Structure 1
Amino acid sequence: MHLGKNFALAFLLVFSSLGFAAEASKTDAADVDFQWGVKVPLRDGVKLNATLYRPHTQKDALPCIFTLTPYIAQSYHDRAMYFAAHGFVFATIDVRGRGNSEGEFTPLLQEAKDGHDIVEWLAQQPYCNGKVSMWGGSYAGYDQWATAKEFPPHLASIVPVASPYAGIDFPRRNNIAYPYDVQWLTFTSGHASQDKIFGDGKFWTAKFSEVFLQHLAFNNIDKIIGNPSPIFQSWVQHPMRDAYWDSFNPTAAQLAKIDLPILTITGQYDGDQPGALMHYTEHMANASEHAKAQHYLIIGPWDHPGTRTPQAELGGLKFAAASVLDMNRLHEDWWNWTLKSGAKPAFLKNAVAYYVSVAEQWRYADTLAAVTAEQRPLYLGSAGTAADVFTAGSLQAEKSVSAKSDTYLYDPLDVSSAARDAVDVPNSLTDQRSVIADSGKQLVYHSAPFEYDTDLAGFFRFSAWMTLDQPDTDFHVVVYEIAADGSSVYLSDDQMRARYRESDRSAKPVPKNTLQKYDFDHFTFAARQIRKGSRLRLVISSMNSLFSEKNYNAGGVVGEETGKMRVPSRSSCITIRSMPACCIYRSPPPIISRRALSSIASRRSDEYR
């Protein structure tokens, strides 16, 4: 589905420096002193290249902020100018092996110790008062967590934004990889910027189409692209979460010791939301009470770049002006509070802030779990015709005693989606042509119209009993709002490779034609007011897109499979009789509730527990 291009594959979109002009225009260039080519020594003798920005009127030592980036330090010039003009020393630093820094770039692996050394070096400079923090999103959000786990004594705060979590959402989501990996690796190849190559959408679509249409092995895509990558080949050797991916992330013991002010920021449509929230929840699960009390979370109605420069329009949706936070000002207020003993930012009224679209309001909660006010299950019902959107099954409050099984066919050799995927869709959050076109290749269920305006906020869950006639397949589960006029809004999605149905750390072939329970519990966070008369739409299908690693259902190493080894294979979804399906939670009017949506589907759970 085209959604994969816009959401699942949004990791590390790097044009985050674009669109800063409006905020940066507040900066008077005369207020900033600039020093290019500053060399930061690391413990192994490698020197990183930094550009230093200082307030022109600086007399006393000040807190220092830095961003550590593989995207060439000068791309953050506007941000650096702003913060230097507002009372901080700011450094933009090329990571090892990129830009003008020495050494070899090894994504993710190197930033922990390098980040530690930068913190301690800055803290010793005469212009720094010993308090150091970090700025940045995506990769520059990840390397804040990597640095924090090394416990540099002078790291006083971090503000990780849209931070990927290795093995969770990068370089694969839920153990399903995507060809965007090689696009990103090409962008970060060598020392110089490869932004023109990276940004040539027609080139990448053509190359991804070649792999998809010719049924070529995913693990060879770096060679097919023309940029053989040892890094990519290392990644594909680890198709599931394991010790390799764990080594990039803080351990439970390290998280228990991280005790400093943290502001985590992500978006409802941020492709790295799963990673950002994994960092957040893992820290909250392991940290001390003192540390947890210093960790704040903001979830806005933003995509990946919007977590740094929010926009009021996205994918066919429009949001109120309240959604467009001034991120420079928010960061400035945060650092004035945490580094200069100033007032707490007025925006942080509670530990968790999240934006409810349609209601167009920021809401607050004590914890992420407390966002969900209540839970209520929905159950699948069907006459056996749910494979078509116009004869869809139902999401109903009561268990059905007469529901029939539903079946859809996934043919790995089907490439009909390629033409759709190759077209960029500006209204990606509201477009529903794929759902309408994929009759027979999916299952669709609709709820009854909502009787009154209802706030939904939290995470969907979906449980289903299904049988397959092959040892493996990939599932994609999406939830939409369908308005009274028939228009659609994407809310959330999850995906699963069937072999990992029991654990993302252990692969088990699926016994053919045997009922198996599948629990989809990695949906992205959603917060939206569902208007009276709207319905929910649940769509269950296979992953079959230019922008996803194709599973040919052979049961072997997916990345090595090709179309030569497979004939069409069938994945049968067998419907419900009892267990919870889509849970919705609501409060009676007037609606001030937050929603909870819990498990969305069931299959004869009374008989197959």
Structure 2
Amino acid sequence: MEETRGIGRYQVQLRWGIKIPLRDGICLNATAYIPRELRDPAPAIFTLTPYIGQTYHDRGMYFAAHGYPFLTVDVRGRGDSGGEFKPNINEAKDGHDVVEWLAQQTYCNGQVAMWGGSYSGYAQWATAKELPPHLSTIVPVASPSMGVDFPFGGNIASPYLMRWLTLVWGRASQDKIFADGVEYWDQRFREWYESGNAFEQLDTFLGNPSDVFQEWLRHPQPDDYWDSYNPTSEQYSRIALPVLSITGIYDGDQPGAISYYRQHLRHSRVARERHYLVIGPWDHAGTRTPRAEFGGLKLGPASVIDLPRLHLQWYAWTMQGGPKPEFLHNKVAYYVIGADRWRYAESLDSITRRVQLLYLHSAGNPTDVFSSGFLQSEPASSAPDQFVYDPRDTRLAQVEASVGSNYLVDQRMIHAAGVSQLIYHSQPFPSEMEVSGFFKLSVWLSIDRPDTDVRATVYLVDALGSAMRLSEDRIRARYRQDLRREVLIGTSEPLRYDFDHFTFVAVKISKGSRLRLVVGSNDSIYTQRNFNGGGVVSKESVKDARPVTVRLFHDGSHKSVLYVPLGDDVSEEPAWARSVVTDRQGQE
């Protein structure tokens, strides 16, 4: 079936119900958007999606109106595609077959590109690792990496998994159910949290028993199972096509996108010249459609760039000999919050010019914002601090479920958490500074249980007391040494915990502002609960719950340190900021 629509330069012809044959006899369903007045075959673009092809109708119209044939392809088992849907597992070979089929169509000149974000960003990397000969470029956006940030991060899962699995349940679209976040999902997650049920019962609790969910829980840490989804070092070394990666400062899949970027540059000799990275001031959805306001933040006009236009320019440059996109002044582009400006660097690591060490210290147990500990430039020796987490206490659930859309600036959880956290503040900044890069935190902790989950969060607090969350990281104690190997804690002596998976941030710090570090339990309605029992976490319930006391040391033998990444344009070096680049091992 065909229909013609007009938009932009080209009339667009739609073709429905296209069947793309795969090597095993299964056919995938596609909708094609063809520039009607296209005189010669052109590079073709496609997206491989579980969200039903019509979701990207506007993108198909846009790219076809600008001269590129564009196909929305339902993944195996979704929409009108044949076969059985198994998340993420078939996209590599199926994507390869779509590329080679598309390259043979009369409207394609043999060059094929991919488009898409989130799952479709993952599908681009999965396809690229199969090295289809006619794949010319990929633009993976907000791409989750299996075993890195999906379906868990730091080996800590989230009930969001069942919200997402419900979205892609069956063949039809479940987008209305998925979108009912505040009224339905937040309340259901609160009910699950308060029930004290084991995490493995979540799918049944939510009314959607899932074999996929149960299979994922059988692999709670990176292993061969998760490795099979992602490119190997050998495959990375052979991915020579140009890549434009896009993610956001508050994109939940930033860790996955950054992991792909780093692995590609590590293993491929040509990647340093052909892989570009854009990190915008966006959340997950904003990596495709930027917004100036989200999470309670209000950003400047430079934050909203024309990403479809950037895609067009990228495709023209890499496949048609057009000029390099004017936005890409260097290999890495990143936005600085508060300055409302984009900066550029040759590499991700070169963004941080120097690192400031701030040592944790306190004059008493700092469990309150108004009687906090200190982040200071010189180490000092004092008695350890401590927080207590009791999984049987569910009082915070009501507060957390009410936070809603202002989650990046709302401080109610900090004020309500009480003895389950420790809080440290820096001195007010006497002049403007730019923090750009990745925070790191090395702290000496002792716990009196075999396992618990600890979260570290960094905030920016302005002179009036308003706070903005910058970045966070979490550690499950049994994976303190190695995410691939669990070792329960068998001592009450202090051990070093390295929080070195904070997300990237770039922000201008105004005069009079301070940094706030919160170290506490990872107790949330939005994450898998650790009942501290030391058993299989997904199987434990409130019956296994044990309170844990976590002590944080900062004495002469145990220097706990926050590493602050400082970027460009520091107008005046504060006297207290003795910035150095150092190996953390040397601070032990």
Question: Shorter chain as normaliser: what TM range?
Answer: over 0.9
- Which AA in structure 2 matches 1:337? W
Q: Does 1:109 align with 2:89?
A: yes
Q: How does 1:220-239 map to 2 (within 5 A)?
A: 220-239=201-220
Query: Equivalent of 1:526, from 482, 502, 505?
Result: 505
Query: Equivalent of 1:268, from 249, 257, 261?
Result: 249
* Residue 10 (structure 1) aligns with: none
Q: How does 1:393-404 map to 2 (within 5 A)?
A: 393-401=373-381, 403-404=382-383
* Residue 188 (structure 2) aligns with: 207
Residues 592, 325 of structure 1: CA spacing in aligned structure 2 closer, same or farther, 3 A cutoff? farther
TM-score, structure 2 normalization? 0.95
Rounded to whole Å, the distance in 1 between the matches of 2:578 and 2:275 is: 23
Q: Contact conserved, 1:460 with 1:599, CA < 8 A, in 2?
A: no
Q: More strand per residue: 1 or 2?
A: 2
Rounded to whole Å, the distance in 2 between the matches of 1:348 and 1:365 is: 10
What is the percentage of aligned positions where both structures have the same residue? 51
Rounded to whole Å, the distance in 2 between the matches of 1:406 and 1:159 is: 47
* Residue 579 (structure 1) aligns with: 559
Query: Equivalent of 2:41, from 52, 56, 61?
Result: 61
* Residue 544 (structure 2) aligns with: 565
Query: Equivalent of 2:63, from 69, 72, 83?
Result: 83
C-alpha deviation, 1:439, in angstroms: 1.7
Residues 522, 323 of structure 1: CA spacing in aligned structure 2 closer, same or farther, 3 A cutoff? same
- Once the two structures are overlaid, the 10-residue window that deviates more, 107-116 or 318-327, is 318-327
* Residue 362 (structure 2) aligns with: 382
Q: Does 1:480 align with 2:425?
A: no
C-alpha deviation, 1:183, in angstroms: 1.0
Residues 73, 579 of structure 1: CA spacing in aligned structure 2 closer, same or farther, 3 A cutoff? same
Rounded to whole Å, the distance in 1 between the matches of 2:384 and 2:320 is: 63
Rounded to whole Å, the distance in 2 between the matches of 1:365 and 1:446 is: 30
Rounded to whole Å, the distance in 1 between the matches of 2:445 and 2:263 is: 31
* Residue 459 (structure 1) aligns with: 438
C-alpha deviation, 1:198, in angstroms: 1.7
Q: How does 1:217-366 map to 2 (within 5 A)?
A: 217-288=198-269, 290-366=270-346
Post-superposition CA distance 1:506-563 (Å, at most 9, x none): 0001123121110000000000000111000000011111111000001110000011
C-alpha deviation, 1:504, in angstroms: 0.2
Q: Contact conserved, 2:246 with 2:257, CA < 8 A, in 1?
A: yes
Q: Does 1:549 align with 2:531?
A: no
Query: Equivalent of 2:158, from 174, 178, 181?
Result: 178
Residue aligned with 1:429, SS: coil
Q: Contact conserved, 2:366 with 2:423, CA < 8 A, in 1?
A: yes
- Which AA in structure 1 matches 2:233? A
> Structure 2: where are the runs of 5+ without partners?
none
C-alpha deviation, 1:572, in angstroms: 2.4
Q: Contact conserved, 1:480 with 1:489, CA < 8 A, in 2?
A: yes
Query: Equivalent of 2:73, from 78, 93, 103?
Result: 93
Q: How does 1:4-23 map to 2 (within 5 A)?
A: none
- Which AA in structure 1 matches 2:297? L
- Once the two structures are overlaid, the 10-residue window that deviates more, 254-263 or 196-205, is 196-205
- Once the two structures are overlaid, the 10-residue window that deviates more, 369-378 or 197-206, is 197-206
Post-superposition CA distance 1:434-484 (Å, at most 9, x none): 111112110000001112100110000000111101000001100001101
Rounded to whole Å, the distance in 2 between the matches of 1:540 and 1:35 is: 55
Q: Contact conserved, 1:265 with 1:276, CA < 8 A, in 2?
A: yes
Post-superposition CA distance 1:146-178 (Å, at most 9, x none): 000000000000000000000111001110001
C-alpha deviation, 1:589, in angstroms: 5.0
Post-superposition CA distance 1:56-83 (Å, at most 9, x none): 2112101000000000000100000000
> Structure 1: where are the runs of 5+ without partners?
1-24
* Residue 510 (structure 1) aligns with: 489
* Residue 168 (structure 1) aligns with: 148
TM-score, structure 1 normalization? 0.92
- Once the two structures are overlaid, the 10-residue window that deviates more, 311-320 or 299-308, is 311-320
Rounded to whole Å, the distance in 2 between the matches of 1:166 and 1:598 is: 35
Residue aligned with 1:31, SS: strand
Query: Equivalent of 1:448, from 420, 423, 427?
Result: 427
C-alpha deviation, 1:418, in angstroms: 1.1
Residues 537, 599 of structure 1: CA spacing in aligned structure 2 closer, same or farther, 3 A cutoff? farther
C-alpha deviation, 1:386, in angstroms: 1.1
C-alpha deviation, 1:384, in angstroms: 2.4
- Which AA in structure 2 matches 1:537? R
Residue aligned with 1:377, SS: strand
Query: Equivalent of 1:437, from 407, 413, 416?
Result: 416
Residues 99, 111 of structure 1: CA spacing in aligned structure 2 closer, same or farther, 3 A cutoff? same
C-alpha deviation, 1:96, in angstroms: 0.3
* Residue 197 (structure 1) aligns with: 177
Residues 591, 337 of structure 1: CA spacing in aligned structure 2 closer, same or farther, 3 A cutoff? farther
Q: Contact conserved, 1:32 with 1:84, CA < 8 A, in 2?
A: yes
Residue aligned with 2:418, SS: coil
For the aligned residue pairs, the C-alpha RMSD in angstroms reads 2.2
